Amino acid sequence: MNNLYALVDCNNFFVSCERVFNPKLESKPVVVLSNNDGCVVSRSNEAKALEIKMGSPFFKLKEFFKQNDVTAFSSNYSLYGNMSQRVMSILSKFSPNIEIYSIDEAFLDFSGFNYHNLENYAREIKRVVYQWTGIPVSVGVGKTKTLAKIATHIAKKNNQFNGVYISNKEEEINSFLKNIPVDEVWGIGRRFNKKLLVNNINTVYKLKNADQQWIKKNFGVVGLRTVKELNGLSCISLESVAKNKKGITSSRSFGKPVSKYEDLHQAISSYITTASRKLRKQKSLANILIIYILTNRFDKENFYYNHEVIKLPVPTNNTSTFIKFAGKALKNIYVEGLNYKKAGVMLNEIIPEEHIQLSLFDNVDIEKSKVLMTTIDNINEKMGQGTIKSASEGFDKKWKMKSEMRSREFTTCWDDILEV
């Protein structure tokens, strides 16, 4: 059976999520900003037409946005995450094997599908996803995952394909590859790209036809694999089961400087809640908890950074246990009188739940802890994150990041349900 893959990519995903619940924004320039309303991370096509660049600092564009009637939103990750789950659930109905590659992309296994019906099938995916969620997608199909990625790029950049491109015509796809910069290839990083350009390999077509021995010598097995994929030889298999993370981090810069221990403890507790929820979701336990705090790194004279590594007596995924140890550790590194800009937590030495080994003297009721955490997770999943939380997280959250233009949590919070 010949390998065949589709890549489904949500168009301008964060912006598209905002438009689903605010249809007045259709055909208008819209952007979504990063944490603390720092810079542009998602743009509508109309915003791109105004030459607003990804990563542009928001504070430099405020006047430009007013003059050009650009709507800006703070990031609303609860909304985007939930909309992503809905899209991925729909995509799973179109293929027996699916790899969720990112929040807005997924590979589908089309191996064994009839080539003659592929375009109709891809258009059906596009139609159903939009009808059921309001999210527009582009679909590219190829013999390899790399070619599927390229096909999606072609589908997005060329209006005549209306969001769907099947890369099954050698001459046609080569004509496109001659005009696509080599850094558009999946896996080509900055250093890889720089070396290719020095050797006059500046398009995808030139990379596809590069001498494979030379590629292997200069870029190793990874580079050779990319070239083979461009030539239709599948080297990267579908990962239908996501790999568990070996380390989990949760951190944020504060919306304004934080100096009090109590506020820092609230922030650390909140980040622990997020990290431990992710840990439980992958059915894992952590042996190591790391917390860290730092002041503004640009104030070099007064810069302060410190961290504490806690080896837990028993591996756990219990939020309360992490918070208890974090509180003691924070007292060891907190310095009064400083203005802290950021804090974070890391969970390391992660193992599967079933690998835990308890001694006779371990005074830990694992089963009760598991039931409690599962109950809290289920309630928060249904009623909105933070419905049940630790008192250590506080309520006023003076430290929370800026999100002055954040939309409501339309799909995850009862209080924010859209009124019609």
Q: DSSP assignment of 150-188, as one string?
A: HHHHHHHH-GGGTTEEE---HHHHHHHHTTSBGGGSTT-
Query: Is 238 within the bounds of a domain?
Result: no
Instruction: Please say which residue of 128, 144, 166 terminates a domain.
Output: 166
Query: Is 196 within the bounds of a domain?
Result: yes
pLDDT digits (tens, 9 = 90+) for 249-265: 999 888 888 999 999 99
Query: Is 388 within the bounds of a domain?
Result: yes
* 112 pLDDT more than 50: yes
Residue among 129, 186, 124 nearest 153 (CA): 186
Do 140 and 13 lie in one domain? The reply is yes
pLDDT digits (tens, 9 = 90+) for 63-107: 999 999 999 999 998 899 999 999 999 999 999 899 999 999 999
Query: Is 368 within the bounds of a domain?
Result: yes
Band the pLDDT of 57: cuts 50, 70, 90: very high
- 340-352 sheet: strands from edge to edge: 248-258, 340-352, 284-295, 305-316
- What CATH code is carried by the domain that includes residue 221? 1.10.150.20
Do 11 and 148 lie in one domain? The reply is yes
Do 26 and 140 lie in one domain? The reply is yes
For residue 261, give the 3-state DSSP assignment: helix
Q: What is the DSSP letter of 260?
A: -
The H or E element that residue 138 is part of is: strand 137-142
* pLDDT at residue number 369: 80
Do 226 and 290 lie in one domain? The reply is no
For residue 314, give the 3-state DSSP assignment: strand
- What CATH code is carried by the domain that includes residue 253? 3.30.1490.100
Report the alpha-carbon distance of residue 31 to residue 62 in Å, rounded.
Answer: 12
* 174 pLDDT more than 80: yes
Do 63 and 201 lie in one domain? The reply is no
Band the pLDDT of 361: cuts 50, 70, 90: very low
CA dihedral (139, 144, 145, 146) in degrees, to 10, reads: -100
Query: CB 348: neighbour CB atoms within 10 A?
Result: 14
Band the pLDDT of 379: cuts 50, 70, 90: confident
* 362 pLDDT more than 60: no
Pair of tokens at residue 225: 């694999």
Query: Is 289 within the bounds of a domain?
Result: yes
Query: Is 415 within the bounds of a domain?
Result: no
* pLDDT at residue number 360: 46
Instruction: Please say which residue of 142, 166, 190 terminates a domain.
Output: 166
| Bridge partners, 250 (sequence order) | 345
Do 372 and 314 lie in one domain? The reply is yes
Query: CB 216: neighbour CB atoms within 10 A?
Result: 15
Total domains in the chain come to: 3
Do 187 and 55 lie in one domain? The reply is no
Q: Range of 22's domain?
A: 5-166
What phi and psi, each to the nearest 5 degrees, are found at residue 279?
-65, -45
Query: Is 62 within the bounds of a domain?
Result: yes
Query: Is 227 within the bounds of a domain?
Result: yes
* pLDDT at residue number 208: 94
Do 80 and 97 lie in one domain? The reply is yes
Per the listing, tokens 């890549």 go with 7
Do 355 and 259 lie in one domain? The reply is yes
pLDDT digits (tens, 9 = 90+) for 126-152: 999 999 999 999 999 999 999 999 999
Do 101 and 159 lie in one domain? The reply is yes
First to last CA, the chain: 50
Report the alpha-carbon distance of residue 128 to residue 125 in Å, rounded.
Answer: 5
Whole-number mean pLDDT of the chain? 89
* pLDDT at residue number 268: 94
* pLDDT at residue number 134: 96
Do 384 and 262 lie in one domain? The reply is yes
Do 154 and 197 lie in one domain? The reply is no
- What CATH code is carried by the domain that includes residue 27? 3.30.70.270
